[in-house]
Structure 1
Amino acid sequence: MATLFRWLLRLASAAIFLSVVGVLLVYYLASRSLPDYNETLTTGGISAEVEIVRDNAAVPHIFATNDEDAFYGLGYAHAQDRLWQMVMLRRTVQGRLSEVFGRRTLDTDMLLRRLDLYTLATRSVASQSPEATAALRAYAAGVNARITEINEQSLGRGAPEFFVFNAPMAPWQPADSIAIVKLMALQLSGQFRDEILRAQTALLLPDPDRLQDILPDIPGSGTAALPEYASLFPGKAMPRYASADDQGVWPVPERGLAGASNVWAAAPSRSAGGGTLLANDPHLGFTAPSTWYLARLNLASGGVIGGTIPGVPAVMLGRSETLAWGITSSYLDDQDLHIEELNPENTQQYRTPDGWAEFTTRRSIVEIAGEAPVTVTLRWTENGPVLPRSRFDLEAITPPGHVVSMNWTALSAEDTSMTAALDLMHAQTVNEALETTPLYVAPSQMLTLTDKDGIAMKLIGAMPSRDPRHQSQGRLPSPGWIEANRWQGMLPDSANPVWTDPEGGILGNTNNKIIDRPFPMHVSFDWGDSQRVMRWSQLMQGRQVHTRDSFIEAQLDTVSPAARTLLPLIGRDLWYTGEAAPDGTPERQRQRALDLLADWNGEMNEHLPEPLIYAAWVRALQDRLIRDELGPLADRYTHVEPLFIERVFRDVDGAATWCDVIRSVKEETCSDIARMALDDALVWIGETYGTQLESLRWGDAHQAVHKHQVLGDIPVLRYFVNIRQSTSGGDFTLERGVSAGTGPEPFLSVHGAGYRGVYDFADPDSSVFINATGQSGHFLSRHYDDLGTLWRRGEYIPMSLDEDLARAASIGVTRLEPR
Structure 2
Amino acid sequence: MTTEKTQSLEYLRQEAERRVPSLNGELTVKGLEGSVRVVWDRHGVPHAKVESTHDMWFVQGFLHAQDRLWGMERTRRFFHGTLAQIIGEGGLRPDRLYRRVGLMRAAQREWPHVEKEGRLVVEAYVAGINAYLDMELPLPIEFEVLGYSPARWEPTDVTGRWKLIAYSQSMNGQTKLGRLQLLKALGPKFFAKLFPYYPTDGPTIVPPGEPAGERPMAELLDLYEAAHAQAGISEQNGSNNWVVDGSLSATGYPLLAGDPHLAITVPSFWNVQHIQGPQFSFTGASMPGVPGVTYYGHNGHTAWSVTTAGADAQDLFLEQISDREPPQYLFQGQWLSAEVHEEKIWVKGQAEPVVEQVIETHHGPVVSGGPGRRGPAVALCWSGNEIQQTFSSFVPMHASKTVDELIEAHRQWTSHTNRVLADTAGNIGYILSGQLPVRKGGPAHVPVPGWTGEHEWESQVPFEGMPRVVNPHSHFINTSNNLIVPYNFPHYVAPAGNPTRAERVVQMLKGQTRFAIDDFARMQADNFNIPGAYMAKRVRSVEPESELGRQARDILAGWDGYHQPENAAGAVYETLRWKLFDATLGRLRAWMPEHKPSAESLRSYMTAVLGMIQSDDRELLSHEALPFDDWNVPLAEALDAAAEHLDQVLGSDPAKWTWGGLHYVNFRHGIGREEPEASLLNAGRFASGGSGETVNNTGHGGGPSFGANTVATYRQIIDLADVNNSVFIIPPGQSGHVASPHYADHLEDYLAVRYRPLLWDWARIEAEAESEQKLTPG
TM over 0.5: yes
Partner of 1:343: 322
2:586 to 602, 611, 627: 627
Partner of 2:677: 717
Instruction: Kindly indicate whether residue 448 of structure 2 is the aligned counterpart of residue 478 of structure 1.
Output: yes
Matching residue's letter, 1:249: A
Partner of 1:181, secondary structure, is: helix
- For residues 295-444 of structure 1, the aligned pairs below 5 Å read 295-316=273-294, 317-343=296-322, 348-371=327-350, 372-389=352-369, 400-412=374-386, 414-441=387-414, 443-444=415-416
Aligned partners of 1:290 and 1:772 also within 8 Å = yes
Partner of 1:799: 758
Deviation at 1:257, TM superposition (A): 2.5
Aligned partners of 2:198 and 2:497 also within 8 Å = no
Equivalent-residue separation in structure 1 for 2:179 and 2:7 (angstroms): 58
2:496 to 513, 527, 537: 527
- With the length of structure 2 as denominator, give the TM-score of the two structures: 0.92
> Relative to 1, partners in 2 of residues 1:241 and 1:53: Cα closer, same or farther, differing over 3 Å?
closer
Matching residue's letter, 1:179: G
2:158 to 161, 177, 193: 177
> Relative to 1, partners in 2 of residues 1:779 and 1:256: Cα closer, same or farther, differing over 3 Å?
closer
Aligned partners of 1:609 and 1:696 also within 8 Å = yes
Partner of 1:8: none
Equivalent-residue separation in structure 1 for 2:5 and 2:632 (angstroms): 62
Instruction: Kindly indicate whether residue 421 of structure 2 is the aligned counterpart of residue 449 of structure 1.
Output: yes
Partner of 1:643: 608
Give the length in aligned residue pairs: 757
Partner of 1:485, secondary structure, is: coil
Deviation at 1:572, TM superposition (A): 4.1
Deviation at 1:592, TM superposition (A): 2.2
- For residues 723-802 of structure 1, the aligned pairs below 5 Å read 723-741=684-702, 744-745=704-705, 747-802=706-761
CA-to-aligned-CA distance 1:206-257 (integer Å, 9 cap, x gap):
x5311122334223499xxxxxxxxxx4xx8778997986671324779963
- Aligned-residue identity in percent: 26
> Relative to 1, partners in 2 of residues 1:519 and 1:354: Cα closer, same or farther, differing over 3 Å?
farther
Partner of 1:249: 226
Instruction: Kindly indicate whether residue 438 of structure 2 is the aligned counterpart of residue 465 of structure 1.
Output: yes
Partner of 1:139: 125
> Relative to 1, partners in 2 of residues 1:288 and 1:256: Cα closer, same or farther, differing over 3 Å?
closer
Deviation at 1:657, TM superposition (A): 2.7
Aligned partners of 1:648 and 1:657 also within 8 Å = no
Deviation at 1:299, TM superposition (A): 2.1
Aligned partners of 1:213 and 1:648 also within 8 Å = no
> Relative to 1, partners in 2 of residues 1:649 and 1:784: Cα closer, same or farther, differing over 3 Å?
same
- For residues 42-441 of structure 1, the aligned pairs below 5 Å read 42-149=28-135, 151=136, 153=137, 155=138, 158-205=139-186, 207-220=187-200, 233=211, 248-251=225-228, 257=235, 259-316=237-294, 317-343=296-322, 348-371=327-350, 372-389=352-369, 400-412=374-386, 414-441=387-414
Partner of 1:7: none
> Relative to 1, partners in 2 of residues 1:651 and 1:240: Cα closer, same or farther, differing over 3 Å?
farther
CA-to-aligned-CA distance 1:442-466 (integer Å, 9 cap, x gap):
x200111100210000101001011
**Structure 1 stretches of 5 or more lacking a match?**
1-14, 223-232, 579-585
CA-to-aligned-CA distance 1:483-540 (integer Å, 9 cap, x gap):
221111322112211100111211111111121245871202x233121111111101
Partner of 2:611, secondary structure, is: helix
Aligned partners of 1:705 and 1:725 also within 8 Å = yes
Aligned partners of 1:221 and 1:516 also within 8 Å = no
> Relative to 1, partners in 2 of residues 1:676 and 1:345: Cα closer, same or farther, differing over 3 Å?
same
Matching residue's letter, 2:174: R
User: Which range is displaced more, 310-319 or 121-130?
Assistant: 121-130
> Relative to 1, partners in 2 of residues 1:568 and 1:67: Cα closer, same or farther, differing over 3 Å?
same
Aligned partners of 1:613 and 1:682 also within 8 Å = yes
User: Which range is displaced more, 643-652 or 788-797?
Assistant: 643-652
Partner of 2:467: 497
Deviation at 1:197, TM superposition (A): 0.7
Instruction: Kindly indicate whether residue 635 of structure 2 is the aligned counterpart of residue 654 of structure 1.
Output: no
Partner of 2:422, secondary structure, is: strand
Deviation at 1:308, TM superposition (A): 0.2
Matching residue's letter, 2:47: H
> Relative to 1, partners in 2 of residues 1:240 and 1:795: Cα closer, same or farther, differing over 3 Å?
closer
Equivalent-residue separation in structure 2 for 1:286 and 1:506 (angstroms): 30
User: Which range is displaced more, 127-136 or 768-777?
Assistant: 127-136
Equivalent-residue separation in structure 2 for 1:521 and 1:260 (angstroms): 22
Aligned partners of 2:270 and 2:287 also within 8 Å = yes
Aligned partners of 1:35 and 1:80 also within 8 Å = yes
Partner of 1:655, secondary structure, is: helix
Equivalent-residue separation in structure 2 for 1:259 and 1:34 (angstroms): 32
CA-to-aligned-CA distance 1:746-766 (integer Å, 9 cap, x gap):
x11111210110011122211
User: Which range is displaced more, 25-34 or 543-552?
Assistant: 25-34
Equivalent-residue separation in structure 2 for 1:242 and 1:335 (angstroms): 18
Equivalent-residue separation in structure 2 for 1:553 and 1:221 (angstroms): 26
Matching residue's letter, 2:283: I
Larger Rg: 1
Matching residue's letter, 2:334: G
> Relative to 1, partners in 2 of residues 1:254 and 1:192: Cα closer, same or farther, differing over 3 Å?
farther
Matching residue's letter, 1:540: L
Partner of 2:767: 808
